[in-house]
Structure 1
Amino acid sequence: MPESTRRLCYAIVRQPARSLLDACELTHLDRVAIDAEGIAREHAAYRDVLAAMGLSVTVLPAIEAHPDSVFMEDTAVVLDEVLVLTRPTRSREAEPAHLLADAGALGRPVARITAPGTLEGGDVLRVGRRLMVGLTTRTNAEGVAQLHAIAEPFGYTVESFAVGRSLHFKTACTALDEGLLLVNPEWVDAQALRAAGFELLAVPGDEPFAANLLRVDDRVLINAAAPRTAALARDAWRARGHAPDALFDTPLVEFGKAEAGLTCLSLVYADPAST
């Protein structure tokens, strides 16, 4: 998409709570010490690079009662037509209400995932009008069915995919562009993704958490803490004819200790009326 036709895009981020350092939820990693200054530095750099990508960034206050509340992505799925408040894991179940209280409905009608459905935004990858949803410990089939019922009337398709040893679908699979997925093939069903019509770019085995990148229209942010994957992504980006100045990077090391990636830290959405 040429720069002159980019949509006006926004990002909502939340300051990390001090409680994140000791009480973040972990599913697949052992707990190790997280450096408070490193977390603050990484979050500030992340906000800066989002602004450099052309996004209007809103920073919400920390919520000490919710250690994982910095991971804004999980609280909602923002479509052009509707704001879908998710139903996260029990310890985070109140976070979508905090989003609504702090940021409002983002100019959209509000829909909600309700029990017994569970859904977290980290399991929902949007590629055009396709919503690709991972079935994980955080998202169940009922949650996917409810998302389908909400989104299908607006012209979206909803597809579910099996996920292995990965906290979220987007930990193991994100889109470099609308035809190419960056994946960890050990954690997702690569055959199913190919059958869905995508080319795949696999992360190196020694960078298993590197498949999470953040795409905003024709701009992409990659994790510089995974240098081999970053180099592969850069090469693929150039080979597919994308503008070099639309590729950005920032390192996430301390946040990685909390099983977090680039998409986790923000809720990104576009003004559907803008071009």
Structure 2
Amino acid sequence: MIAITHRVSPNIHQCELTHRVREPLDLDRARRQHAAYQDVLRRHGFSVEELTVNEHLPDSVFVEDTAVVLDEIAVLCRPGAPSRREEVAGIRPALARYRPLAAIQAPGTLDGGDVLRVGKTLFVGLSLRTNRDGMEQLRAILAPHGYQVKPVQVHGCLHLKTAVTAADDHTLVAYPAWIDMEPFGGFRVLEVPEEEAEAANILRLHRSVLVAQGFARTERMLRQAGFSVETVDISELRKAEAGLTCSSLLVSP
């Protein structure tokens, strides 16, 4: 497995913020936390590639938003924030080594953080960053490959995966107050407590799930549900509105 990541930009303090108040951000600490995150991926068998091509762009570490990577194809996104659209060209050559490419075109917008894949279904958050045109383009691109695309209304957070992620193909971790849960009927849903709402963004790994450090109740809930849990500190990156899924594009061989 390949994990495509990007070096933390020295301009990360100028990142886009939607639901968080801007705070002072320690670049060295953010880079140490990102390195620890990469080390977790390596321990789980991922070969980590760290790009630097977009280092001048404040949000470039959050590579998830630039593409949706599936077994058959990678779809280059068109981020909803205009300041982030330049990132996509820098990511293209890295993905082209592993997948045929397609791309979302104007007026569509699509952030990878709004796309949750569970099996052959992609749930797409309709948010401030992703519009219906972007979702419909994704549906058309993926239809020949047998994927279903289902819209989900997002109303309380930045991206769909801020509020819901998959621990396995049958279990979701969610903070339901931020999204419409109706499209997720049939799943087991583990609800994070209100004071740990940001813990809904977990990263599913080969043998365990990764939870952001500091969310003890969510960690305990997942262990009680039968999951092996690891934690990593991303407290500095969270000041830039990050979650665990944001900082990598995971590519199967």
- The two structures have a TM-score, normalised by structure 2, of 0.95
Partner Cα separation in structure 1 for residue 95 and residue 224 of structure 2 = 40
1:175 aligns with one of 166, 179, 192: 166
Matched, 1:117 2:136: no
2:3 aligns with one of 11, 30, 38: 11
Matched, 1:95 2:82: no
Please name the residue that 2:230 is paired with: 248
Q: Indicate if the aligned counterparts of 1:25 and 1:258 stay in contact, CA closer than 8 A.
A: yes
Percentage of identical aligned residues: 48
Q: Which amino acid aligns with 2:8?
A: P
Partner Cα separation in structure 2 for residue 190 and residue 25 of structure 1 = 27
Q: Tell me the secondary structure at the aligned position of residue 137 of structure 2.
A: helix
State the shift of 1:158 in Å: 0.5
Aligned residues: 252
Partner Cα separation in structure 1 for residue 75 and residue 132 of structure 2 = 16
Partner Cα separation in structure 2 for residue 149 and residue 217 of structure 1 = 30
2:70 aligns with one of 63, 79, 83: 79
- TM alignment of 1:132-143, pairs within 5 A: 132-143=123-134
Q: Indicate if the aligned counterparts of 2:114 and 2:125 stay in contact, CA closer than 8 A.
A: yes
State the shift of 1:216 in Å: 3.5
Q: Indicate if the aligned counterparts of 2:117 and 2:123 stay in contact, CA closer than 8 A.
A: yes
- TM alignment of 1:95-244, pairs within 5 A: 95-101=87-93, 103-193=94-184, 195=185, 197-236=186-225, 238=226, 244=228
Q: Tell me the secondary structure at the aligned position of residue 56 of structure 2.
A: coil
Q: Which runs of 5+ in 1 are unaligned?
A: 1-8
Q: Which amino acid aligns with 1:13?
A: T
Q: Tell me the secondary structure at the aligned position of residue 210 of structure 1.
A: helix
The CA RMSD over aligned residues, in Å, is 1.4
CA shift in 2, pair 1:104/1:210, >3 Å = closer
Matched, 1:41 2:32: yes
State the shift of 1:225 in Å: 2.5
2:245 aligns with one of 258, 263, 271: 263
Partner Cα separation in structure 1 for residue 102 and residue 211 of structure 2 = 31
State the shift of 1:149 in Å: 0.4
Q: Indicate if the aligned counterparts of 1:14 and 1:60 stay in contact, CA closer than 8 A.
A: yes
Q: Indicate if the aligned counterparts of 1:16 and 1:62 stay in contact, CA closer than 8 A.
A: no
Q: Indicate if the aligned counterparts of 1:214 and 1:262 stay in contact, CA closer than 8 A.
A: yes
Q: Indicate if the aligned counterparts of 1:124 and 1:131 stay in contact, CA closer than 8 A.
A: yes
Q: Which runs of 5+ in 2 are unaligned?
A: none
Q: Indicate if the aligned counterparts of 1:53 and 1:248 stay in contact, CA closer than 8 A.
A: no
Q: 1:200-237 deviations in whole A, cap 9, x for unaligned?
A: 1111111121100111455422212322212212221x
Q: 1:172-214 deviations in whole A, cap 9, x for unaligned?
A: 0000111111001110112332x2x212111111112110011
2:52 aligns with one of 42, 58, 61: 61
Q: Indicate if the aligned counterparts of 1:83 and 1:106 stay in contact, CA closer than 8 A.
A: no
